[in-house]
Structure formats: structure tokens, C-alpha cells
Structure 1
Amino acid sequence: MSVFRSRPALRWLVPSAAAVAVIGGGAAAGTIVASADPALPERTAAELLVDLQNADPDGLSGTVVQSSDLGLPGIAGLLSQAAPSGGGLTSLIAGSNTARIWYAGEDKARVALLGTDGQTDMIRNGSDVWVWNSKENTGTHAKLPADKQDPKSLPSGVPSPQEAADAALSAINPSTEVATTGAAEVAGRDAYELVLTPRDSESLVGQVRLAIDATEHIPLRVDVYAKNTTKPAFRVAFEQISFDVPDAEQFTFNPPPGAKVDEAGTVFGPDAAHTGKPSTGKPSGNPGDEPKVIGEGWTTIVSAKLPESPDKAIAGADKDEAKLAESFLGTMPKVSGSWGSGRLLSGALFTVLLTDDGRVFAGAVTPEALYEVA
């Protein structure tokens, strides 16, 4: 059981489905010993994994910075054109995001996603949850039902180091070589470094490196390397951190004059991560069209069926949307095989196959692995 399972509120400090998809692998803890700095006692890989599982801070606050270079400059440019003020998804592909976080127990947590033209705050205080956009001076307030006061995610664009580490350690199996490289220093704190190396040749992930706080045992930094590279394609790390319990006022929401705050929704669900609004909790679409997970560990593949083929979707869109969609497709080379034909998006850490008949396959795997599943 990880700290995210034993301390559920930590899961939504700064969540990101993208990080989970990129780093979703496993580890088999060996007995390799960290040759730590003289000031730190030696720890085995297995002991560090136990430290992660038992981490239980009473509170913390700090600044988290996420940076990415997933090898998709064309896609990043198009996203920037489509949503020039959005920044979140674009910088997850190429760029960086910064967030401030505060945590004071299961029912008190806050995230402030900082942007060039304002910030978005996500605050939980007991059963009350607020999402606030400073640029628009608008927000949404939701009450969590008594039986559903464990929101799994709040909308944000930055993964926390803890969430990234939790994803990397979610499947303990023999598919991963685990080692330690000694001591590190992150945000002015001593840390041990744990290195996970996938053994599967179909995985695009070369290594995941976790810097684990020597005292509090939470991840201070997570680096994800593509194979045969020396620079991380994805990094999320604390730039500054304190383990003092934040003041109660940090979790009190006081809207500024003239603000518009909507009262809506119940528990936060999957819709919230995309819309920034509370989920209604009602299922949508055809259950048969829900995404499917194929395989496990580092070579997990997610498949889904689109409502219609890409060509039909473009034909039914307005002029501007059709032009943008065609530009996106233009960055994806055409591919074909016994499975049919389609287009391929290849990044440093993931591959996406979009077939002409409207199927989608994605994973941190080689194109060949997607073709075999298709």
C-alpha cells in the first residue's frame, strides 16, 4: 500500500493522468545497498520502498515544478495555437508548469497552479471543495457527500512527485531492475535515489529515478528517461518544501469583490479533470465504448473506440476545427499492416496509433507493440 492509498487526500494535491500513463510500471525490490553520503545511513532498495509506503507527513507546503520534452515539437506548436492561453497540456508535452501546494491532513489540501496571466486554485476544506480561476474571477463550489469524501483528483496540469512515484511503483513485479545510486540533495534536503529500469524491450522508458526524502520518506523528485538518453524527458520535483503544518487560513476561500462563484455538482470525478467543474457522477456514452486496458506494468496499452472515424469527424466539423484537425493528422505519418491502416504519433515516452476505422491505441511502448494489439 502506497502513501496515496493510505493517505487518499495526497492523491489529488497535484494530479495528472498524463504522468500515470507515462510512468505506469513496476518494480522488484532487490537488496542493492545505497552507498549514501557519510551523513546518511545506508538503505537497501527494499527498505526505501517500505519507506515510501509508510510515509505519513502531518503536513507540508512547497513549490512543485514539472518540465517535459517528449519529442513532439509539431504537436506542442499546434496545441499552443489552439489554446494560446491554456498552457497546461502544451507544457506537459514541451515546457514547464509550476504549482504551490499546501497539505494539512486528509480534509485540508490546496493547489495553486501558477500561470503567466493568473492562477487556478483548487482547495479542499472538510466537505467543501472550490476551484478558482483568478483571471476570469470565477469559481465553482461543491459539497462532498458524506460517503464520498475521497476525491481521487482535482483538475490541474502538474503531477506531484508523490503521484509520479506512486504510478511507477503501482505494479510490483519482476519486470524491473531496481538499484540505488546513493545520496542526492533536492530542495535543500538530503535524499536517497532509487532507480527503476524496465527489463521489457517493448517499453520506451529507459529509467525512472526517485529522490526520496531521507527523513520524511516522500519523493522530492521524479525523473523519467527515455531509452538511450541522458536527459530526462519528464521531471517533476519540489523546488522548495517545508514539513510544517500550514496555517488553517490557507484552506479558507474568500472570493474577491465582484467574483462569480457557481454552486454546483457533487463529488469530483473524471469529468472534473477535463472541465474544471465538479462531476455530476453520471455515466456518459456507451459502456461498450469505454477505454480498455491491455497488459500490465511498463507495457500497458490503453485502447478505445472513437464515436466516428477521423475522416468523418473532420467532414462534420466547421472550417476552423477541420483545418486544425487536418494539421494534427498531418504531423502523424501514415502506417498500415495486417491490422489495417491509420496514423502514428511517436514521442520519446509514448506512442499513439489512430486507425482509419476510429480505434485508438496508446502506451509507453514501441509502435510494433501497438500494431500487434491492433
Structure 2
Amino acid sequence: MSVFQTRPALRWLVPTGAALAILGGGAAVGTFASAAEPNLPERSAAQLLVDLQTARLDGLSGTVIKRADLGLPSLPGIGGRGSAELTSLVSGTHTLRVWHAGPDKTRVALLGTLGETDVIRNGKDVWIWDSQANKAEHSTLDGQPTGRPGHLPTTPQEAAEQALAAVDPSTRVSVGRSASIAGRDAYELVLEPRDATSLVGQITIAIDAAEHVPLRFQVVPQGTSKPAFEVAFTQIDFERPDPAQFVFNPPPGTVVTEGARPDGKPMALPAEVERPTVVGKGWTSVLVAEVPQLAEVAKVAETDGAEAALLRSVLGGLPEVNGAWGTGRIVTGKLFTALLTDDGRVLVGAVTPERLYEVAQSTR
């Protein structure tokens, strides 16, 4: 059963049907620091999990700050702080405004220096609006929201949903220190992988002591104490927002693109990428996909086309690796490793390179 079904308070702000992969936060990292540790009644980890499961949320609005330092290589066309383009938010810090008035009324606004990008759901209607370009995309959902698998979380609630899905015998669960987040007292739930091949050291979820919803989410890599990814409220109001917040009327001159993306159906992958499979479970699972174009580029250095040239340029800057599984290139980050093999496979996971080599050998 989906965590959305068992934890209603966690599903309020999942971007439904919209391609939303937002990272960052618009204030200094110090914004995430807690005030003096509040004195709260003692609660066990089991009680906090029950709190998350039974919480009921009628509505809220607030400001969310996100920061990501995943160790990603620099890529052309990827913006940083101050950008309001959804595709630019793979690193750095950014600010978002959020509104929620039920599972079918949500709004997320990514704030940039020169504009903002809004993702708005009102019933079955979903709008993505780029204020700077004055463009809007409208689609209609069919069915209940299912989220978008594999994308990076936008809010503490969505991040917590993804993390709690991994709570099984492979996870050590404990209670951390209490904290003050956005002026509210919070308990801290700590999740730690038991398998040392995971790059994740621990995940911490700050839970509102009164409303029982996540206020802050942090991921700390193995061997460090500094989060590589964190998302937190800096201001929050639990009053139900005005319905007008979810009504979007395109401004004059807006270029509107109409389309339908029925919810519950997987988004199409490019023709040259076969649908990926997952090897293993929990923290050490590895996603494996066949990408024939990688093999072609590896075999023929003179492959024609701008796309092939860009791929050669990216691959050429990555370290070469080899083993019983074959040869290829490796990408390492603070919370992930990716292996691109010369026979046209891509393996990605929050695991060590050795784990990827093992999976690459077993899936040849």
C-alpha cells in the first residue's frame, strides 16, 4: 500500500501530473539552523511514526527553503541561484511558496530573481506557468494523484513520504534532538541504513509537535555531519488558503499549450531508452536502464549528430573504469553513484561504486 494512503498528511503537496523536480533554497544555509532546543514531552520513534500516519491536515501555506549540494558535475544550461526554471534546479539554493487546501488543491511557486514558475492543481486541472517567459502548460488529470516516481522532493512532506517508504528491517529508526523550525516546536525522527554500502548516513525528519507534519527534512552522507540535501519551512500558517490561490487565468499575451497527461500512467521515456528495472531493495537498490546510444557512441567516436557530440563530450570528462562486468565511465556524487557502461547500460543508486559493479556483473 502506498505511503500516501497510509499517511494522509504527507500527500498534501505532491506535485500531481506535473514534471516538477525542484532543488535548492533562497536563503543562507543558516536559515536551517534551529533555535534553542525546546523542552518537549518524551515520545518514542514508534509514537512519532504513528503521529505521521494519523495526522490530518485541512490546509496550510508557507515558505520553503531548499538546498542541495549533491556533488553533481557542471552541465551546460543548468542555472543556479536566482533562476526560476524548473530544469535549472539540480543544485544550489532556492525559495518556494506553497499553498494546500486538500489533496486536489495545491500550489507551488518557485521564486526567481526575474520571475517565478508556478505549478497549480485545482481539481483535475494542472497548470505550469512561467511568468518570465509568459508561457503556460495546461493538462487534465484522470484519476487520483500518484506522484512522479524517481524525482527529487519539493517539500518536507514529499521528502518524508519517499524516506518512510524505506522503513523496514534494513533501517534503524530512532529519536533525535528536539528542534524549533519556523517558530514551531518539533521532534526529530532519525532513519539510518544498516547496510554500509549505502551512501546515505542518516535522514532526519523534524515533525511538528502539535500538527504532526514534517517541517524539515535532511539527508546526511556517510562519513560527514553536513547535509547534502535539505528542505525546510521557514514560515508556515495552518489556516486553509483562500480558494482564489488555486485559480489560474492566463495573463494577456500568455502562450498556452494544451495537453493531457492522465495520472497513474507512466510518463513516456525517450525512444532510445528502454524502461528501467530495479535490482535489490531499500537503501541499496540500483536502477538499471538500457541506453543503446551509449554503446554506439562508445564504439564509433565519429558518430554524427549534435546529440552524439554532446554525449561524447560529457562521457569524455568522466573517469574510466573496468572490471569483470566490462568497461565504462563512473559519476560519483555525495549521495549517488552512476555507472555508464560501454555496452549501453546506465546503473544508478545511492550506493558505492563496488555495489554498481556487482549489479553490472549480475545483469550482463
> Does the aligned pair in 2 maintain the 1:302–1:362 contact within 8 Å?
yes
Secondary structure at the counterpart of residue 192 of structure 1 = strand
In 2: Cα distance, 1:223 partner to 1:114 partner = 21
Q: 2:164 aligns with which of 169, 176, 183?
A: 169
Map 1:1-374 to 2 at 5 A: 4-6=4-6, 7=8, 8-12=11-15, 37-38=38-39, 40-72=40-72, 75-78=73-76, 80=78, 88-92=86-90, 94-145=91-142, 148-150=143-145, 152-153=147-148, 159-268=154-263, 285=271, 289-309=274-294, 311-312=296-297, 315-319=302-306, 321-374=307-360
> Does the aligned pair in 1 maintain the 2:84–2:116 contact within 8 Å?
no
In 2: Cα distance, 1:343 partner to 1:15 partner = 28
Deviation at 1:113, TM superposition (A): 1.5
**Normalising by structure 2, what TM-score?**
0.83
RMSD, matched Cα: 3.1
Secondary structure at the counterpart of residue 178 of structure 1 = strand
In 1: Cα distance, 2:326 partner to 2:148 partner = 37
In 2: Cα distance, 1:237 partner to 1:15 partner = 21
**Which letter does structure 2 place at the counterpart of 1:128?**
D
Secondary structure at the counterpart of residue 308 of structure 1 = helix
Q: 1:107 to 1:46 in 2, by over 3 A?
A: same
Deviation per residue, 1:26-76 (Å, 9 max, x gap): xxxxxxxxxx843x211101100111112221001111111111123xx13
> Does the aligned pair in 2 maintain the 1:293–1:302 contact within 8 Å?
yes
Q: 1:156 to 1:229 in 2, by over 3 A?
A: closer
In 2: Cα distance, 1:250 partner to 1:81 partner = 28
> Does the aligned pair in 1 maintain the 2:198–2:352 contact within 8 Å?
yes
Secondary structure at the counterpart of residue 78 of structure 2 = helix
Deviation at 1:79, TM superposition (A): 5.0
**Normalising by structure 1, what TM-score?**
0.81
> Does the aligned pair in 1 maintain the 2:65–2:95 contact within 8 Å?
yes
In 2: Cα distance, 1:326 partner to 1:10 partner = 39
In 2: Cα distance, 1:323 partner to 1:85 partner = 27
**Which letter does structure 1 place at the counterpart of 2:347?**
F
Deviation per residue, 1:173-222 (Å, 9 max, x gap): 22222221231011111100111111101000111111111111111111
In 2: Cα distance, 1:197 partner to 1:160 partner = 20
Q: Which residue of 1 aligns with 2:29?
A: none
Q: 1:233 to 1:240 in 2, by over 3 A?
A: same
Q: Which residue of 1 aligns with 2:33?
A: none
Number of aligned pairs?
340
> Does the aligned pair in 1 maintain the 2:84–2:110 contact within 8 Å?
no
In 1: Cα distance, 2:327 partner to 2:22 partner = 26
Deviation at 1:311, TM superposition (A): 4.8
> Does the aligned pair in 2 maintain the 1:80–1:87 contact within 8 Å?
no
**Which letter does structure 1 place at the counterpart of 2:321?**
V
**Which letter does structure 1 place at the counterpart of 2:197?**
E
Deviation at 1:315, TM superposition (A): 4.3
> Does the aligned pair in 2 maintain the 1:153–1:268 contact within 8 Å?
no
Deviation per residue, 1:295-349 (Å, 9 max, x gap): 1111010000003225528744535x45543332233200000000000001111
Q: 1:79 to 1:143 in 2, by over 3 A?
A: closer
In 2: Cα distance, 1:71 partner to 1:355 partner = 21
In 1: Cα distance, 2:154 partner to 2:74 partner = 19
Which consecutive unaligned segments of at least 5 residues does structure 1 have? Answer: 20-35, 272-278
Deviation per residue, 1:280-301 (Å, 9 max, x gap): xx78748x92100111111010
Secondary structure at the counterpart of residue 349 of structure 1 = coil
Q: 1:117 to 1:170 in 2, by over 3 A?
A: same
- Identity fraction in percent: 51
Structure having the higher helix fraction is: 1
Q: 1:347 to 1:284 in 2, by over 3 A?
A: closer
> Does the aligned pair in 1 maintain the 2:144–2:264 contact within 8 Å?
no
Deviation per residue, 1:145-184 (Å, 9 max, x gap): 3xx1425249997621111111111033222222212310
> Does the aligned pair in 2 maintain the 1:9–1:150 contact within 8 Å?
no
Deviation at 1:9, TM superposition (A): 4.7
